[in-house]
Chain A
Amino acid sequence: MSITTPEAVLTYDEVMANFDPVLGLEVHVELGTNTKMFCGCPTEFGADPNTQVCPTCLGLPGSLPVVNAVAVESAIRIGLALNCSIAEWCRFARKNYFYPDMPKNFQTSQYDEPICFEGYLDVEVETDEGMRTFRVEIERAHMEEDTGKTSHQGGATGRIHGADYSLVDYNRAGIPLIEIVTKPVAGTGKYAPQVAKAYVAALRELLRGLGVSDVKMEQGSLRCDANISLRRSPSDPLGTRTETKNVNSLRSVERAIRYEMTRQAAVLQSGAKVTQETRHWHEDTGVTTSGREKSDAEDYRYFPEPDLVPIAPSREWVEELRAALPENPAVRRARVQSSWGISDFDMAAVVNSGALDLVEATVAEGADQAAARKWWLSELARTANERGVELIDLPITPADVARVEALVVAGTLNDKIARQVIEGVLAGEGSPDDVVAGRGLGVVSDDGPLLAAIDEALAASPDVAEKIRSGKVAAAGAIVGAVMKSTRGQADAGRVRALLLERLGVAE
């Protein structure tokens, strides 16, 4: 898609031999409130353009904002879950800029008085020395409103550059957002991309646990801007950073940071300076391209919002919310891990692929934990990857997976057929039982047809039959294979083998 000349990059090893990376992550979370931040408009995703709007979110003269109580409550709960302090008193501020995604010519945000500040989130990353915990310090989490959606028309690329004009839909304008900003994250060394990914994954898990957002990266309800800078040595001051936007999946977080590190390193090694700018991540080509340069055009002239009174959450309210927080994800992980009896490595694989809720729910539906993990982390993870979606967005439920597994345990399905059933569910053919019935699947467990197939296979290969009879049990594989083929894989191979040996009067 991008038509710019590829920029020079170093290999990752070259980057790490010469530089020390420092990360910074800004995550925007769209809250799952019924209404917008400052007006009573609904927040449904996918509504017709400009049908969830009112004078307030369209910035019409005379309209006044009123703060959504649930949004404030959600902000405080997020702050508490991130070990933040909660401001005793804070205000909204106007962030002034001219861009048609905000009809007011400003975004109502918070500036120097965020509602939550000074927290942390611990994340686990697999290193050469085993699992290691990295503490990501949170600078602040503040409340603001989302912007409208612009689509650029004309031009070759659908991007801003070259567009003839833009169309704007304000349904999203005013939806409550929480922006969570980390402090510079140093000391990750070569694990910077993994730490960033693990942070976003852990944050998503935490937010989902709080029930404050549906945290769907591909729908934009969780968005990540990744800041990265390089310096020659950890004792040097911070280098010039770039901010990469459009990082819309966990995988992209890791890839975008890795790419940007290799690009910046090439710039620095050539003796040039990194330009402080916004860059765009391109999922398809795996590169970032230059967006706008940060300049004084980004002087937002913040000032306190005169149309809104300050927010002063009482300590009683804050403590009430703290007491009602769900189980801390780290505590929950430890509990789940010990009840499943699995290694740190296996547990991290579950968590970092965003599968913890799904696997736990599958286990709750009766599946064995190992089987539940196997389905979600192999077959389903592969499909999610192919489709470019998150596991939770696949059209299959934990109950479906548990049902498939139950059919495997009961011997109704073998592993191969079970995968076909999963495939059918994912293709929208209904529940696992619907797929089994619809596709005529199911293991042939009636010995009659199996024996007939065995006899047929033996008759077709009398020499092999003779070998087996003479005690060369290893040759049985050929006949079993032929039977599996003639039954289109719908037989239980173990049963076929047993029947075959019995038929020929040979002991295993």
Chain B
Amino acid sequence: MSDTPSITRDDVASLARLARIDLAPDTLDHYAEQLAQILGAVAQVSEVAADDIPPMSHPLPLVNVFREDVVRPGLSNAEALSGAPSVESDRFRVPRILDEE
């Protein structure tokens, strides 16, 4: 990863679509440039990281944090649905799925 990372206008458009972020077409170049700068900054880390330093995904030196398989009280149906914009038959009612393309 020592090459300068690049990100194109098309990459930004694709990522925006995957993340369901509605970006105006005339902002794509702007974000591509900003994201490239961020990637460049992050890439500096790889200049320091030697082969003997394992990649880190978590700041805590912990593994195997487990929970016993014991039931704990959760929410009632009413509590669970209390924040839902629309409810029917004790379930969350959501708009029709797919067809978005």
Which residues of A are at the interface with B, using a C-beta cutoff of 8 A? Answer: 33-35, 39-42, 48-55, 57-58, 60, 66-72, 89, 91, 96, 98-100, 150-153, 160-161, 163-170, 292, 296-297, 299, 301, 304, 306, 308-313
For B89, the closest partner residue in chain A by CB is: A167
Q: Contacting B96 at CB < 8 Å: which of A50, A165, A301, A304?
A: A165
Chain A residues whose C-beta falls within 8 Å of the C-beta of B89 in the assembled complex: 49, 167
User: Complex formed: what's the CA distance from A34 to B72 in Å?
Assistant: 10
Neighbouring A residues of B99 by C-beta, 8 Å: 161
Give chain B residues whose Cβ lies under 8 Å from the Cβ of A311: 63-64
Contact A53 B65 (CB under 8 A): no
Closest to B78 in A: A50
- Count CB-based A-B contacts (< 8 Å): 136
**Residue pair A69, B63 in contact (C-beta under 8 Å):** no
CA distance A100 to B77 in the complex (A): 18
- Interface size on B, as a range, is 35 or more
Is the Cβ of A309 less than 8 Å from the Cβ of B63?
A: yes
Q: Besides A54-B74, A167-B92, 9 other CB < 8 A contacts?
A: A34-B70, A35-B69, A49-B77, A50-B77, A50-B91, A54-B72, A165-B95, A166-B93, A299-B14
Asked if B24 is at the interface (CB within 8 A of a chain A CB), the reply is no
Known contacts A40-B70, A69-B69, A312-B63: does B94 contact A54 (CB below 8 Å)?
A: no
What mask results when residues 37 to 70 of chain B are scored 1 for a CB within 8 Å of chain A, else 0? 0000000000000000000011010111111111
B5 to chain A, nearest CB (A): 16
Whether B65 contacts A163 by the Cβ 8 Å rule is: no
Is the C-beta of B97 less than 8 angstroms from some C-beta in chain A? yes
A53 to B74, CA, bound (A): 6
Q: A34 near B69 (CB under 8 angstroms)?
A: yes
B1 within 8 A of A: no
Q: Which residues of chain A are near B98, meaning CB under 8 Å?
A: 160-161, 292
Contact of A160 among B62, B88, B90, B97 (CB under 8 A): B97
Q: Is B7 an interface residue (CB 8 A)?
A: no
Judge whether B80 is part of the interface by a CB distance below 8 angstroms. Answer: yes
Known contacts A34-B70, A41-B74, A70-B69; is A310 also within 8 Å of B57 by CB? yes
Nearest-neighbor residue (CB-CB) of B81 within chain A = A50
Report whether B57 and A304 are in contact in the complex, using a CB–CB cutoff of 8 Å. Answer: yes
Chain A's nearest CB lies how many Å from the CB of B70?
6
Give B60's nearest chain A residue, CB to CB: A309
**A162 — nearest CB in chain B belongs to which residue?**
B96
24 contacts between A and B (CB under 8 A): A34-B69, A34-B71, A35-B69, A49-B90, A50-B77, A50-B91, A51-B76, A54-B74, A57-B74, A58-B75, A67-B65, A69-B67, A70-B69, A91-B57, A98-B20, A150-B97, A163-B96, A165-B93, A166-B94, A167-B93, A168-B91, A169-B91, A304-B57, A310-B57
